[in-house]
Amino acid sequence: MGKKKEAPKAEVPEWVVTFGDLMSLLLCFFVLLVSFSEMKKPREYQKVIDSVNEAMGFKGGMGLAHLIESANNSMVSNQEERARRDGDMRSTNDNTDPNIEGRETLVNVVQEGARHAIGGSIMFEVGSFELSKRNQDLLRDSVAPKIRGLNYICPVVGHSWGLEEKRSGLGFDELGYRRAQVVKDFLVRECGVDAAILRVESAGNAEPMSLSASSGGASGSNRRVQVYQTGRTVSQTHPDPNFTGADN
């Protein structure tokens, strides 16, 4: 009588297939963590979070899930989130702690919060405060769309640098101020930005980006204007910014 043939053994153990699937899912998980760690498009990321909230954040019953993550490294999404959270508050930077009454009762200090740079630096030629075509395009395309329609105060800070500019007849502070004023005028006149939110400032030569000894190259970045956005609102600093006479 012939021997009974043994059943062929599986070439790969069954647990290996399950283990491989788990490793693939784990790899995908870490890929997502890496991709979300540096958000280049915070608005698109916020849409993903909103979709997850809509799918999982139902109310009542078991399994309540609510995601509160936000793109904290984005000025735009951060301000939108704070606006939704604070509702009708005059400012998202309001201090709920009572103030200490001082000697001068009419003094009012409003903290502006963190400053966030808007767009790139607007570079200028030595001793000049005229906007080039490149600067106009930069203001129109990269700066104005991010602050147009906002109620937050945006400082426009001018800078100057170098012996050549010192010999131009204008002081460092005056040249920095004129550069900032030119940028403000262009944003208001050509880009539709509300003049009430813009504040012209001059840092003169006190805040260089580079200490290169050469007149050009890296030190050229010191002859610039930078636009910032703060967390302070216009209504905090002016009771009637549009001069409607409502508070008279």
Whichever domain contains 193, its CATH number is: 3.30.1330.60
Give a yes or no: residue 107 inside a domain: no
Shared domain check, 125 and 227: yes
Give a yes or no: residue 31 inside a domain: yes
Looking at residue 101, what is its pLDDT? 60
Shared domain check, 123 and 79: no
pLDDT tens profile 10-52: 577 788 888 889 999 999 988 888 877 665 566 676 777 777 7
Give a yes or no: residue 90 inside a domain: no
Shared domain check, 122 and 78: no
**Average pLDDT of the chain?**
76
Give a yes or no: residue 199 inside a domain: yes
What is the pTM (predicted TM-score) of this model? Answer: 0.54
Shared domain check, 137 and 35: no
Shared domain check, 221 and 151: yes
Give a yes or no: residue 145 inside a domain: yes
Shared domain check, 143 and 78: no
3-state DSSP call for residue 130? coil
Give a yes or no: residue 104 inside a domain: no
Do 182 and 131 touch, CB atoms closer than 8 A? yes
From 66, 84, 102, give the residue that closes a domain: 84
Shared domain check, 137 and 59: no
Nearest alpha carbon to residue 231 among 132, 114, 77, 149: 114
Greater confidence (172 vs 73) lies with 172
Can you list the pairs that 134-142 forms with residues at least 24 positions away whose Cβ atoms lie under 8 Å? 136/186, 136/190, 139/183, 139/186, 139/187, 139/190, 139/191, 140/190, 140/191
From 63, 84, 105, give the residue that closes a domain: 84
Shared domain check, 120 and 226: yes
Shared domain check, 161 and 50: no
pLDDT tens profile 118-130: 888 899 988 888 9
3-state DSSP call for residue 147? helix
**For residues 164 and 202, what is the distance between their CA atoms, to the nearest angstrom?**
18
CB atoms within 10 A of CB 195: 11
Give a yes or no: residue 220 inside a domain: yes
**For residues 64 and 171, what is the distance between their CA atoms, to the nearest angstrom?**
63
Q: Can you give the residue range of the structural domain that contains 174?
A: 116-237
CB atoms within 10 A of CB 140: 14
Shared domain check, 226 and 123: yes
Angle at 189 between CA 184 and CA 191, to 5 degrees: 85
CB atoms within 10 A of CB 18: 10
From 37, 60, 84, give the residue that closes a domain: 84
For residue 91, is pLDDT > 70?
A: no
Nearest alpha carbon to residue 90 among 183, 153, 182: 153
Do 158 and 171 touch, CB atoms closer than 8 A? no
Shared domain check, 135 and 203: yes
pLDDT tens profile 167-226: 877 888 999 999 999 999 999 999 999 999 999 999 988 888 877 655 445 567 888 999
Shared domain check, 163 and 76: no
How many structural domains are present in the chain? 2
Nearest alpha carbon to residue 207 among 223, 218, 183: 223
Give a yes or no: residue 101 inside a domain: no
